[in-house]
Structure 1
Amino acid sequence: MTQLINTWSKDASEEDSMTDEHAWIWREMIDCIPHADLSQAKVLDIGCNQGGFLRMLYDTRPFAEGVGVDLAQDRIALADAAKAARPLSYLATDTLADAGTGFDLAFSHEVIYLIEDLEDHARQVAAVLKPGGTYDAITCCHADSPLWADWRPRIAAFSNIPVPNHSVADIAAAFRAAGLDLSISRFLAKAFIPNEPPSDYFPSDLARLETYCTWKLCFRARRPA
C-alpha cells in the first residue's frame, strides 16, 4: 500500500493554483465524454486533489454520483468542504475499491505518470468499472515527450512521492495486461492552446504548442461489456 500524504507538492501553493490552471483542460475532457446523457452515471476521479474536476463536470453535465480519491489527505478535506449540495464524496486512499464499484466513467488528469505500479493500477481500474465503462487517463508526462527529461527532475524536487519514468508503451501495456480495450488519442491535437510567455517548463511558444497538441495523450481504457 502507498503511504498517504498530506499534500502532493511540498509547496501547497502549487496545488492551490491547479484548479484555475487546469480548468481549460477539464473542459476539453468533458467535451470528449462519449455519452450524451450522464444523469444516471456513476463517476470516479482518480487523483482528484481539491475536487475541482468533479464539481465542474457536475455543474456542466449533472450525473447521479461522483467519487474522488487521492493520496493527499489535506486536499481531500478541501474537496469535501467545497462540494456543497452536489452528490460527491471524497476519500484519501490508494485502493480504488474503497470508492465502490460499478463506475460508468473514470478519469485522471496528470496522475498516471506518478503511479509506480501501472499494472496494479490497471487491474484496480478494471475491477471498479462496470462492463462497458471507460477510464480516460490523460497525461503529457511520459518518457516519449521531448521535454520530459527536463521536467522529471523539476517535478521530483517538489513532489512528496517518487516520480517514475513511464513510456507510452509502458502505460499501454499495463492496460492491455488487465484485459481492458485500449485506444489512444493526441488529446489536444485540434484544441486552441492558451498562449502564455515562455517559462521554465515551456522554453518557447512552439514547445508549449507541441507538448500539448502532440504529446498530451488520452489513454481510453474500456472494460469489455
Structure 2
Amino acid sequence: MQRPSPAYGTIHTWNRNPADEEAMGAAHAPIWRRMIDVAIHGSLHNSAVLDYGCNQGGFLRMLYDRHPFRSAIGIDIARESVARAELLKGHRPIDYKVGHSAAALGSPFDFAFSHEVLYLLPDLAAHAADMKAALRPGGAYIAAMGCHKDSAVWSRWRKLISESSSIPIYDHSLDSVAKAFSEAGFTVGVRPLDLDAFMPVTVGSDYFPKVVDQLRYYSQDKVLFRFVRTP
C-alpha cells in the first residue's frame, strides 16, 4: 500500500517504532546545536522563525532557549508528534501546527529551518516555491541534509530508512536541491555540517558499521544548505 507523502496527507508519527520516535530528539541535539551556531550570529528578538518538519518540537525549544525570538511556528504532517510538541513547549512563543504548506501559515518568516526533510519531499521545486512564499525578501532558510544520492552511506541507509519510515523517501542529489532553489529565486550556499561535538559511538550500528563511517558522514556527507530569498 502506498504511504501518504507530505504533499498529500498526514501521518501519526514519522517512525513506526514509538521508542525510536521518542529517542530522535536526543540523538539530533548535537546537530541542532551546530545548525544554530552556524546560522545565527545576532539577536532574534524581532524575528519570526519557521521549523519545517518540526517533529516533537525540540529544535525550536533549543533555539529559543539559546536565542529568544519574537515568535515561531513548527509545522509537520505527523499529528501525534505535533501534539507532543505542543505539550512540551512550555512558556515559549511557539505554535505547532499539522500541515505541509509553509505559505499557508500566512506569516512572513525571517528564518526557516529543516533537518533531514528534503529527501522526504517528492517535488523539490514545489517546496522551494512554498518556502519562497513564506519568507520575507532577504529571509534565510537553513536546511540540513545527509540523506542524498551523493552520500557515501546512502545506498545502505536508503534500505534501512525505508524499513522504519512512515512515508516514502526520494533519491535527490545535492545538485538537484541547489537547482530547484536557484530557479525559484534563492541565492544558494552550502557547507559541510562539520559537527563540532562528540557523537556517541554505538558499536554494531547498522547505520555506522565502522567509526570511520560516522566521522566521514558528519564531516563530509551531511551538509547545510542556506537559501536566501532574493527581493
Q: What TM-score results when the alignment is normalised by the length of structure 1? A: 0.96
Contact 2:30 2:197 in 1 (8 A): no
Residue 220 of structure 1, aligned match among 210, 217, 226 = 226
**Distance of 1:193 and 1:143 partners within structure 2:** 26
Partner of residue 164 from structure 1, selected from 151, 164, 170: 170
Q: Distance in 1 between matches of 2:61 and 2:134?
A: 21
Aligned to 1:39: 45
Contact 2:46 2:70 in 1 (8 A): yes
Which one-letter code corresponds to 2:136 in the other structure? K
Classify 1:24/1:177 alpha carbon distance in 2 versus 1 (closer, same or farther; 3 Å).
Answer: same
Matching of residue 204 in structure 1 with residue 207 in structure 2: no
In the alignment, does 2:152 pair up with 1:149?
A: no
Return the offset for 1:160.
1.2
Distance 2:62 2:202 in 1: 27
Alignment-mate amino acid for residue 84 of structure 1: G
Identity %: 42
Amino acid at match of 2:148: H
Secondary structure at 2:90 match in 1: coil
Q: CA-to-partner distance for each residue in 1:49-107, whole Å, 9 max, x for gaps?
A: 00000001001110000100001001000001111111000111011123223100000
Match of 2:103 in 1: 97
Name which of 5, 13, 23 aligns with 2:11: 5
**Distance (Å, rounded) in 2 between the aligned partners of 1:43 and 1:220:** 15
Q: Are 2:189 and 1:183 equivalent residues in the alignment?
A: yes
Q: How many pairs are equivalent?
A: 224
Structure 2 residue corresponding to 1:194, chosen from 196, 199, 202: 199
Distance 1:90 1:152 in 2: 29
Relative contact order higher in (CA < 8 Å, ≥ 6 apart): 2
Decide which moves more: 91-100 or 172-181.
91-100
Shift of 1:195: 4.1
The CA RMSD over aligned residues, in Å, is 1.2
The two structures have a TM-score, normalised by structure 2, of 0.94
Q: What residue identity is the alignment partner of 2:202?
A: P
Amino acid at match of 2:26: D
Correspondence for 2:127 among 121, 130, 133: 121
The counterpart of 1:75, out of the listed 55, 74, 81, is 81
Q: 2:55 matched to 1:49?
A: yes
SS for the counterpart of 1:124 is helix
Paired residues of 1:6 and 1:75 also in contact (CA < 8 A): yes
Task: Supply the distance in 1 between the matched residues of 2:10 and 2:155 (Cα, whole angstroms).
Answer: 27
Shift of residue 34, structure 1, vs aligned partner: 4.0
- The AA in structure 1 aligned to 2:39 is I
Q: Give the unaligned 5+ runs of structure 1.
A: none
**Partner of residue 174, structure 1:** 180
Question: What displacement does 1:134 show?
Answer: 0.2
Asked whether the 8 Å contact 1:180–1:221 carries over to 2, the reply is: yes
SS at match of 1:210: helix
Aligned counterpart for 2:93 among listed residues 87, 95, 106: 87
